[in-house]
């Protein structure tokens, strides 16, 4: 029996639907810079080499005697081959890895493309991996042999809906690793040109941590990059472009980094750090897994990108941490619970916060961009890491009733406190527009008191547990008896001719609405609206209750307090009627007032049909 005869015949597999969509986008060249396909294939090849280097630490037999892990690019006649002697793929891995999309970022990207119709620029910013080969090739052939396996397999596709899998002759396959051969499209033949390849490698892949060799035409093999670790070089020898290029390589994002943090720590632990804060939001920023992407190296050997080297709120940070102290053969368990890594995590997190703080101080505009992109994520730290809250507050920025187009810090807020103001006021809302329209703000406006507008879902959580800033507690504008009376008004609002009149209305409403509200009281919170609803002094904020009700399907929990504005014409008119003993229309007025308060909160009145009926009755009386 020959070796050929033992081979299984070629088998055809359909691509997962999402892959077909992505391929369609690729082939129709939504992205005009096709060069990026090479950096994606090189990146895969480098990952494969680094994975094998790590595996071979515990299984030295996996790497062929004397082999140097490297990537080789060979330009042929209308073909381009990218080969690595890395970890390789077995049959199952070829089918799973090159037939489906596992990465949540890519999935999220595809969803966004569907939403917006054209976001093609972003393909280049984030990279979509292996499938980008079909931008330049009408046939892609992958021959792969998993390290330690006695079989090799061929994967072949024209990118049109399906791929073929077939067993390969061991004689034609790498000893271990993967060879990707592109049969270039007619309009992409330049990619078989040595100079073109060299230019692209230098531009995008100069700092891949595995050497890259080029074989083009008759010329000798040439080393394009030596695979040395950029983070191990002194800062003074690294240019801005080199940093940027490395950021792209390590982070898989090709925007301009907003912040580069590069240092070497010595002392109890010895390690190097090269981290970047991106300027653009990655697609999977709000992925529920909240996974970080920082890579762990030990003495220049890649160990893992699955270890959480930073807290979840810093998951947007990209880069590497390279330890001198850890053993190379770390098991998975040792990686998860390791005191050295814990200490590094703490120290690096502190450093990131201080660098963010510095940027905020020295370049507010650049920092505003970082905050725009990642503020909602950084604020998760306020809730999850109370011990870092004070440091996090220093870099936290807010939209407030006074921020305009810019951002305000808590430091700014406290500096501008009004006479007698002892609290930091905030309003929770779904959107800045809603926040600005809240009737609860009127009394604050009349006193020129600044109010934080908290519109990210995470805000409701941290603000409840944070004790305050600089000794000033946080207080919701919809909660409790506000101490606004202590703060003098700057814009004079009309005072009630007679405060006792309001007292009459309060008493009347208490009686009429006793089943629906916990209390009724006159308020200094309001200037233009007749009424608003607030939460009891020690209960949860109303907006927070709403969020919880939405998330957990609970009904609204506690009964609200109705506050009335004694200065408002509607209340004054009610007072007059009460004094005259004319209560005919007042029952309707009471229910309508409560409904108004609900509507101002963005909710429906308790019984909308009843509300509408009463409103109709009052209108008819008025118009008739």
Provide the binding-site residues for ligand ADP, judged by CB under 6 A. 40, 44-45, 48, 84, 86-89, 97-98, 103, 129-131, 178
- Beta carbon of residue 111, minimum distance to ligand ADP (angstroms, whole number): 17
- In this structure, what are the phi and psi dihedrals at residue 339, rounded to the nearest 5 degrees? -65, -35
- Beta carbon of residue 100, minimum distance to ligand ADP (angstroms, whole number): 9
- Beta carbon of residue 129, minimum distance to ligand ADP (angstroms, whole number): 3
Among 133, 102, 134, 117, residue whose Cα is nearest residue 40: 133
Cβ atoms of 213 and 71 closer than 8 Å: yes
Q: Which is nearer to ligand ADP, 19 or 484 (CB)?
A: 19
Sheet of 531-534, strands arranged across: 519-522, 561-564, 531-534
Q: Which is nearer to ligand ADP, 48 or 520 (CB)?
A: 48
- Beta carbon of residue 40, minimum distance to ligand ADP (angstroms, whole number): 6
CA atoms within 13 A on the CB side of 140: 26
- Beta carbon of residue 372, minimum distance to ligand ADP (angstroms, whole number): 26
Distance between CA 399 and CA 401 in Å, rounded?
7
Q: Which is nearer to ligand ADP, 40 or 545 (CB)?
A: 40
Residue with tokens 């009700």: 549
Residue whose C-beta lies closest to ligand ADP: 129
- Beta carbon of residue 182, minimum distance to ligand ADP (angstroms, whole number): 13
- Beta carbon of residue 104, minimum distance to ligand ADP (angstroms, whole number): 11
Distance between CA 71 and CA 78 in Å, rounded?
20
Q: Which is nearer to ligand ADP, 111 or 607 (CB)?
A: 111
Distance between CA 598 and CA 82 in Å, rounded?
65
Q: Is the dihedral of CA 378, 382, 386, 388 positive or negative?
A: positive
Q: Which is nearer to ligand ADP, 92 or 161 (CB)?
A: 92
Q: Which is nearer to ligand ADP, 98 or 593 (CB)?
A: 98
Q: Which is nearer to ligand ADP, 165 or 427 (CB)?
A: 165
Distance between CA 602 and CA 438 in Å, rounded?
9
Among 567, 578, 473, residue whose Cα is nearest residue 528: 567
Q: Which is nearer to ligand ADP, 16 or 158 (CB)?
A: 16
Which positions ≥6 away from 391 have C-beta within 8 Å? 350, 353, 354, 357
Distance between CA 147 and CA 110 in Å, rounded?
33
CA atoms within 13 A on the CB side of 300: 10
Alpha-helical regions (H) of 168-239: 194-204
- Beta carbon of residue 89, minimum distance to ligand ADP (angstroms, whole number): 5
Q: Which is nearer to ligand ADP, 84 or 541 (CB)?
A: 84
Give the gyration radius of the chain's Cα atoms.
32
Give the pair of three-digit tokens for residue 460.
Answer: 């409701």
- Beta carbon of residue 49, minimum distance to ligand ADP (angstroms, whole number): 8
């Amino acid at each position: 029996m020959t070796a050929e005869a033992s081979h299984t015949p070629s088998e055809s597999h359909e691509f997962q639907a999402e892959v077909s969509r992505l391929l369609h986008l690729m082939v129709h060249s939504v992205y005009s810079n096709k060069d990026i396909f090479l950096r994606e294939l090189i990146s895969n090849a480098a990952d494969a080499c680094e994975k094998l280097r790590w595996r071979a630490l515990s299984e030295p037999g996996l790497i062929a005697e004397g082999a140097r892990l490297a990537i080789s690019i060979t330009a042929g006649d209308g073909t381009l081959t990218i080969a690595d002697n890395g970890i390789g793929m077995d049959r199952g891995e070829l089918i799973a890895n090159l037939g489906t999309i596992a990465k949540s970022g890519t999935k999220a990207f595809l969803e966004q493309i569907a939403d917006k119709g054209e976001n093609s620029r972003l393909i280049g910013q984030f990279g979509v991996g292996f499938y980008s080969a079909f931008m330049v090739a009408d046939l892609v052939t992958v021959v792969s042999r998993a390290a330690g396996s006695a079989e090799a397999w061929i994967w072949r596709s024209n990118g049109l809906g399906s791929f073929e899998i077939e067993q390969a002759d061991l004689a034609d396959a790498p000893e271990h690793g993967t060879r990707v051969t592109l049969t270039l499209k007619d309009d992409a033949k330049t990619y078989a040109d040595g100079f073109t390849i060299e230019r692209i490698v230098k531009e995008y892949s100069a700092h891949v941590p595995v050497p890259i060799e080029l074989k083009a035409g008759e010329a000798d093999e040439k080393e394009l990059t030596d695979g040395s670790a950029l983070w191990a070089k002194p800062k003074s020898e690294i240019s801005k472009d080199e940093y940027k290029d490395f950021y792209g390589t390590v982070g898989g994002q090709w925007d301009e980094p907003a912040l580069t943090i590069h240092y070497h720590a010595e002392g109890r632990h010895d390690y190097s750090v090269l981290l970047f804060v991106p300027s653009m939001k990655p697609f999977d920023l709000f992925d529920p897994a909240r996974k970080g992407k920082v890579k762990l190296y030990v003495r220049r050997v890649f160990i893992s990108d699955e270890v959480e080297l930073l807290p979840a709120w810093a998951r947007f940070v990209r880069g590497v941490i390279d330890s001198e102290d850890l053993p190379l053969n770390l098991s998975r368990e040792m990686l998860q619970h390791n005191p050295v890594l814990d200490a590094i995590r703490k120290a690096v997190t502190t450093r990131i916060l201080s660098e963010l703080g510095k940027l905020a101080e020295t370049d507010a505009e650049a920092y505003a961009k970082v905050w725009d992109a990642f503020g909602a994520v950084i604020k998760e730290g306020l809730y999850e890491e109370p011990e870092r809250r004070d440091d996090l507050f220093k870099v936290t920025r807010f939209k407030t009733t006074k921020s305009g187009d810019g951002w305000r810090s808590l430091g700014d807020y406290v500096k501008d406190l009004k006479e007698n103001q002892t609290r930091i006021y905030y309003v929770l809302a779904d959107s800045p527009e809603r926040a600005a329209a809240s009737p609860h703000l009127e009394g604050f406006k009349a006193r020129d008191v600044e109010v934080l507008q908290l519109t990210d879902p995470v805000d409701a959580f941290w603000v409840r547990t944070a004790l305050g800033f600089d000794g000033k507690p946080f207080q919701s504008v919809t909660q409790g008896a506000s101490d606004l009376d202590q703060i003098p008004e700057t814009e004079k609002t009309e005072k009630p001719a007679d405060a006792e009149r309001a007292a009459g209305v309060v008493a009347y409403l208490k009686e009429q609405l006793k089943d629906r509200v916990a209390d009724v009281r006159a308020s200094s919170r309001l200037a233009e609206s007749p009424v608003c609803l607030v939460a009891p002094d020690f209960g949860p904020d109303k907006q927070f209750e709403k969020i919880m009700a939405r998330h957990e399907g609970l009904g609204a929990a506690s009964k609200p307090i109705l506050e009335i504005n004694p200065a408002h014409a509607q209340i004054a008119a009610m007072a007059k009627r009460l004094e005259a003993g004319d209560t005919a229309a007042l029952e309707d007025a009471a229910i309508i007032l409560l409904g108004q308060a609900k509507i101002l909160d963005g909710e429906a009145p308790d019984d909308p049909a009843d509300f509408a009926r009463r409103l109709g009755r009052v209108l008819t009386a008025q118009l008739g």
